[in-house]
Amino acid sequence: MGKVAEALMKRLNTVISLLGALLVWEIAVRTIGTPEYILPAPSKVLADLWRNIHVLIPASYATLQPMVLGFLLAAALGVLLALLVVYSRAFEAIFYPLLVVLQIIPKIAVAPLFIIWVGYGLTSKVLLVFLLSFFPIVVNSIVAFKSIESDVYDLARSYRASRFKIFWRVELPSALPSLFAGFKVAAALSATAAVVAEFVASDSGLGYLLLNYNGNMNTSMTFAVILVLSVLGLLLYGVVELVERWAIPWHVSQRRDDLVVGKSPA
C-alpha cells in the first residue's frame, strides 16, 4: 500500500505544481492589472471556455478527425516504407536519398499546395498531418530495424527459425521501443499540423477559431482554444503511450516507474 501511495504522491506533486503556476499567474495578472487583451487571468480563460463550450466541442471534433486519420496513415505507411528501405537494397538506393531531401523541405510551406491539388476540406488537412507525422516515424523505424544486434540473428538461425519467425519473434520486438518513440513524436506533432492545416485550408475547427479570436483581440478565448488543442494532443499522445505499455511491458522504459516506487523488475 505504501508503494501505491508513493506513486499517487508523485502524480499529486505534478498536479500541485500546475495549480501553483496557475495561482501565481492569476495573482500576478490581478496585482499588476494587466489588460485582458494582453494577458487574461486563468479564471477568465476557464470561464470563457465553459461559456463557449458549445462552440469548442464541434470544433474539437473537426480538428481531431484529421489528427487521428493523418497520424494513423503516417504510422502505417511510415513503417511499411522503413521495412522496404531496410530489407531491399535496391529500394534503399533509389528512394532513401529522395526521402532525405523531402525531409529537409519545410512541410508547412507545402500546405498551400494542398488547396490547389485537393481543395478545402478534410482531405487537405489529413494530408498535412500525414506529412508532418510521417518523417519522424519513418526515420525512427529505419533506425529501429537497422540497430538489431547480429548475434540475435545468429542465435535465431541456429534454432533454424524461418524468416517470418525471425522477424516476428526477434526483429519486431527489438524494434518496437524505437518505433514507439517515433509514434510519440508524431502524435505530438499531429495537433500542430492539424491547426496549421486549418489556418490555410479550412472554415471550421480549432485552428479556424484561433484565427478568428486572435483577429478580434479576444485573447481569453485564444488561450481557451490553445488549452483545448493541448488536451487533444495529450489525449493522442496518451493513447500511444497506453498501447506502448501494452505492447512492450518488458522494456526498461516501462519498468522505470516500478523501479522508482521500489517494485521488483520481475
Minimum mean pLDDT range among 82-86, 181-185, 199-203, 218-222: 199-203
Q: Domain residues of the chain, as ranges?
A: 1-33, 37-251
Q: What is the spatial distance between Cα 126 and Cα 74, in angstroms, rounded to a whole number? A: 10
Give the model confidence (pLDDT) of 86-139 as tens digits. Answer: 888 888 888 888 888 877 887 777 777 777 787 777 888 888 889 888 988 998
Please count the other Cβ atoms lying within 10 Å of the Cβ belonging to residue 226.
15
Q: Are 221 and 206 in contact (CB under 8 A)?
A: no
The C-alpha torsion from 237 through 68 and 249 to 251, rounded to 10°, is -70
Q: Is the pLDDT of residue 231 over 60?
A: yes
- For the packed helices 122-146 and 111-118, what is the interaxial angle rounded to 10 degrees? 120
Share of the chain above pLDDT 70, in %: 83
pLDDT at 223: 93
pLDDT at 73: 94
Q: Is the pLDDT of residue 173 over 90?
A: no
pLDDT at 160: 67
- pLDDT-derived band at 261 (thresholds 50, 70, 90) equals very low
The C-alpha torsion from 46 through 48 and 49 to 53, rounded to 10°, is 140
- Does the 37-251 domain belong in CATH 1.10.3720.10? yes
